[in-house]
Structure 1
């Protein structure tokens, strides 16, 4: 068990507001603005669709409560990596970090940065040839602002998150005020739709809630973490659930269930129907800001995982270094950003993300199992303990396991390649341990 961060390590400067906005910003990216149609296609009515959004949100809240206790027990940089390494050994931690670097965080960042450029082009009427330069420029920008201390990055992230919440509010108000709030259209069944079952519709919705784990990666920079981490996770999740459910209600109120199912860009369609092209461009700008904030969080939190791995000798020692003045892992941050840019430029990020998206939730479920290990082996009495133990953790683990199984049955090729990506880390780990010792990394 490694010692806590030394005094010359990270600076604990993130308060409750900063931490809660990180939770919100890490979950709400571009998905809620453009992809609820998939879940609509797999349900038979607006009521069943909203039920699934609420159920997925509550399940994610259960996972967040488990992570809240883990964060209170180990408020250090690295999050899941730290918990897995302590509970199951260095290989488990390495496999998480390996997959995180190779595809999960980097692939998510590359994919969402590409969404940013697409909406930025639409908002400002720019030529399509600027898509890749805008994507790369966005990643360079969010990397640069975080090289000069967590406070600078947090202030800008707060602005990103508040603006994206304002975009959600504008969408909801537009949908409810101009389409008749409370109309039966929002909840009515669609005779033309035939649902594929709860699990099939639940999967894309659950993926929209991923990202609640990012705050734990920044545990070494949160003030009074034993109290702040649980409060921020709970508050952030309640905001996200409310935003997601209300946004979908607005979609249904304006477009109807069938219209939402057939819409590739429901937020733009809602705003265009009410305000014309000006409304569509306005929401495009809001989505661009939302995606930029998401990229900011993935890079910042992922860099802390790499830094913790380097400190433990499971990655290059250079990534463990913190800037002497700003106390930020700048080498790790630039490395993750550079790999994300490579994926974005190669165009392979989408396929990689498909291969490993389910692995992100699988990692969440495995991480939650470490709570049982801590309850048995850790004598600490944290200020927050996940309620109704062991039933809530078991509920989360079982539900995510079912989703993973459904994913593998639905698309065995992508799921199989995702598993291979994780397993490929085993020989890499063994070679690393053989060639390097902590003193030589």
Structure 2
């Protein structure tokens, strides 16, 4: 069996993912995430909660600062724990297997696929308009058809080659940056033409909401557009030189992305958690020629397609954000715990202690504010679903309960997909 560049076989015949994501690809993965569909959908949600244009802009600015500070914390975590899986790896190292399992259960089964579903629905909505006339809205079936095709196309690219995926990211990131430059340029032209009424604070802040906890939902909507500033941490094992992203002269970016970028990192969560024994064994395997987590890609894409059935964007974003910031807060706490547990470990990047404390407090606010302002059953359902993972953890993970047909089924899928077990990275 040929070995790809940057990969090696395990003594037991297992394989590892290839380190093919270089500095440009890593930056594209991050920058591409922030310039995505969220920025075209979230503004109305932010405005609805803040009730003024001026306060909406303040929320957007604070969201950007918060995402940047959070990404700095993740840069430190990614260089001291060089494992893929993001929060899964850090929670496991700091608190043990149960919090890590609950994270992987929540994200791999629901939140990441549903996030992809929302993004592809957005793509389907805009792309479908090319096929309808005038001001008519595209039919739902057409929107979802294009969303499904987008998921399948990007799944194929990510399955076929990591290099293909990163090249697509670079191209689309460059295109989106160019589009933003054009939009900003047009905005300045409009200002020069005299359209400056909304620059007057007495007008732009008029009617701003006075309910402090109401801004929690506004932050959810804004941070949705910034979400995925942590995506590079999900593919740490595929970075050519992980420490390069964390050194003082290196690049530390935050962001969110186009469909292909987000799926690139999303697929890796199911792969890593399966490798740790927290999901089906087949999901931890790697294609023998492509060195990609093919079963994990198929699994995640299938769930994402199922998630296309409902399409309530606001409910999806609020549900996602509540659970996400619950785990983000736990991860910032993990950073503080690891500072205490391993004070002498090499840290290519080390953020001032005030930063993880600040983002941890922000996480607490983001979790409790929407509940205080407007209690809804959605938040209770989110907590119940997270804890429901314990019902599966005890028998199947802790006690390692297995049925006789499991090995036969796994072997069948292994031959069908042409995949082999993957080796754990050496920390």
Q: How far 1:436 moved relative to its partner?
A: 3.5
Name the SS of the counterpart of 2:386 in structure 1: helix
2:175 to 146, 159, 163: 163
Aligned with residue 274 of structure 2, among 310, 317, 320:
310
Deviating more after overlay: 135-144 vs 411-420? 411-420
Q: Deviations over 1:297-346 (max 9, x none)?
A: 33221221111111111111111111112211000011000000011135
Determine whether 1:193 maps to 2:207. yes
Deviation at 1:347, TM superposition (A): 4.9
Cα deviation digits, residues 25-64 of structure 1 (max 9, x gap): 2233212123313323444654443332222211111111
2:120 matched to 1:113? Answer: yes
Q: Secondary structure at the match of 1:11?
A: coil
Say if 2:415 is the partner of 1:415: no
Alignment of 1:204-219 (within 5 A): 204-219=221-236
2:21 to 14, 22, 29: 14
Structure 2 CA distance for partners of 1:407 and 1:346, relative to 1, 3 Å: closer
Q: Shift of residue 351 of structure 1?
A: 4.8
| 1:179-209 Cα distance to aligned partner (Å, 9 max, x none) | 4389642322337633244553452323332
Q: What is the TM-score with the length of structure 1 in the denominator? A: 0.79
Distance 1:384 1:156 in 2: 29
Alignment pair present for 1:427 and 2:427: no
**Are positions 1:404 and 2:367 aligned together?**
yes
Go from structure 1 to structure 2 and tell me whether the alpha carbon gap of 1:346 and 1:199 turns closer, same or farther (over 3 Å shift).
closer
Which range moves more in the overlay, 326-335 or 188-197?
Answer: 188-197
Note the aligned Cα RMSD (angstroms).
Answer: 2.8
Deviations 1:117-156 (A, max 9, x none): 1100113437524222111101000100111221110101
2:401 aligned residue: 436
Select the structure that is richer in helix. Answer: 1
Please give the secondary structure, in 2, of the residue aligned with 1:29: coil
For structure 2, the residue ranges without an aligned partner over 5 or more in a row are: 1-6, 411-427
Equivalent residues in 2 for 1:15-414 (5 A)?
15-43=22-50, 46-125=53-132, 128=139, 129-180=141-192, 184-188=196-200, 189-190=202-203, 193-197=207-211, 199-201=213-215, 202-203=218-219, 204-229=221-246, 235-237=252-254, 294-345=258-309, 347=311, 351=315, 353-378=317-342, 379-386=344-351, 388-389=352-353, 391-409=354-372, 410-414=374-378
160-169 vs 352-361, greater mean Cα deviation: 352-361
CA gap of 1:182–1:305, structure 2 versus 1, over 3 A, is farther
CA distance in 2, matches of 1:181, 1:160: 32
For the Cα contact (< 8 Å) 1:107–1:353, is it kept in 2? no
**Which string of whole-angstrom CA distances, capped at 9 and with x for unpartnered residues, describes residues 149-179 of structure 1?**
2111010122222222222222211122134
DSSP 3-state at the match of 1:322: strand
1:326 counterpart SS class: coil
**TM-score, normalised via structure 2 length:** 0.81
Q: Using the TM superposition, give the Cα deviation of residue 435 of structure 1 relative to its aligned residue in structure 2, in angstroms.
A: 4.0
1:255 — aligned with what?
A: none
Q: CA deviation at 1:229?
A: 4.9
Greater mean alpha carbon deviation, residues 135-144 or residues 227-236: 227-236
Aligned residues: 382
Shifted more, 188-197 versus 347-356: the winner is: 347-356
Match in the other structure for 2:421: none
